Amino acid sequence: MQFIDPHVHMVSRTTDDYEAMRAAGVVALIEPAFWLGQPRTEVGTFKDYFSTLVGWERFRSSQFGIRHYCTMGLNSKEANNEPLAEAVMELLPLFATKEGVVAIGEIGYDDQTAAEDKYFRQQIELAKELDLPILIHTPHRDKKNGTYRSMDVLEEHGCDPTKVVIDHCNEETAKEVLDRGYWTAFTIYPGTKMGNERMVDLMKHYGPERIIVDSSADWGISDPLSVPKTAALMLQRGISEADVKKVTYGNALAAYGQSGQMKESDWIDAPDIDRNEVFNGNSVLRNGRKADKIIH
C-alpha cells in the first residue's frame, strides 16, 4: 500500500526517517508550519523557516522519493506575541502563494486568548482570499471547547467545511466535527494525543468517510511511521483495505487536492532520483560526494 502523511514536521527529522518512511510506503507528506519548541523572537526567523518549507525541505524529501507539500500559517502559540505576529502576518501572503503550499495552517487556538482569536480570524480570511483549504490545530488543553469554538468561528466567517481539516481530534470531539461536515483528522502520537489501538476502534465506529490519519511527528517523542503502522493494525483487525486506503491516503488527497497544488500524478510520474542534484549548491550527500547510480 501507499500512504500520505498529511501532518509531519520533517525539519525536525533525520534522513533515516525519510528512508524508513519511503520503505514503509509513504509517497507524499504535508508539513504544516508550526512552532519550533521555543518561541521565536524575530520575524526573520519566520521568514527563513517558511523559506525552508518551500525550499530545502521540499528538495530533501524528493531525494528520498517522497513528494513534499506544506501549509503556511502563524501558529496559535506564537500569535500571543502581537508585535511579532503583526510582522508575520505581513509575510504570509507572499509564502502562501508559493508552489507546494496546500493550505493555510496550522491555525486555531492554544490557550484561547484574544490575540489567538484575532490572528485566527485574519488567517481564515486570508485562506478565503487565496481559495486555499484550512488546517486547524485544536488545543491540547480544554480540547472540546476549543474545537467547538474553532468550528463556530469558521462558520461565522462563512467557511465551507469541506475545505477545512480539523486536526488532533479524539473520542470527545469526533462526532461533532463529523456531524458538522469537516474533514476529521486524528494524530497518532501516543502519550499526548491518540494511539493506534484507539484509532482502530474509532474507525470501526465511524467508518472511513472524511476521516484522516496523520503522525504529527516532530522534535518530540513521536513516530514518523505512525500512518503505515496504524494501517497495518487496521488491516489486522479486519478493516477492509479500501477503507484503510481512504483514511491513510485518499481522504488527505481529496482534502488538500482542493488547493490545486497536490495531484496523484506528482508522485506517480515523479522523475528518477539523482542525488548528485543540488539545491542552492548543497546536496543530501554533503562534502562534494557523488552518487554512483540513479534511484528508480
Residues 101 and 126 sit within 8 Å (Cβ to Cβ): no
Q: Is 172 left (phi over 0), alpha (psi -120 to 50) or beta?
A: alpha
Q: Is residue 267 part of a domain?
A: no
Give tens-digit pLDDT for 103-124: 999 999 999 999 999 999 999 9
pLDDT greater than 60 at residue 288: no
DSSP, collapsed to helix, strand or coil, labels residue 211 as: strand
Of 162, 167, 168, nearest to 180 by C-alpha is 162
Q: Is residue 35 part of a domain?
A: yes
Question: Pairing relation of β-strands 134-137 and 164-167?
Answer: parallel
Residues of the domain holding 9: 3-261
Q: Is residue 195 part of a domain?
A: yes
Q: Is residue 20 part of a domain?
A: yes
Give tens-digit pLDDT for 30-47: 999 998 888 899 999 999
Residue 292: the pLDDT is: 53
Q: Is residue 292 part of a domain?
A: no
Q: Is residue 9 part of a domain?
A: yes
- With cut-offs at 50, 70 and 90, classify the pLDDT of residue 192: low
| CATH code assigned at 107 | 3.20.20.140
Residue 286: the pLDDT is: 65
Give tens-digit pLDDT for 144-160: 999 999 999 999 999 99
DSSP, collapsed to helix, strand or coil, labels residue 71 as: strand
Residue 275: the pLDDT is: 80
pLDDT greater than 70 at residue 199: yes
Residue 126: the pLDDT is: 98
pLDDT greater than 80 at residue 81: yes
Q: Which residues make Cβ contacts (< 8 Å) with residue 229, sequence separation at least 6?
A: 188, 196, 223
Give tens-digit pLDDT for 251-278: 999 999 999 999 999 999 988 888 888 8
Q: Is residue 287 part of a domain?
A: no
In the chain, how many domains are there?
1
Q: Is residue 280 part of a domain?
A: no
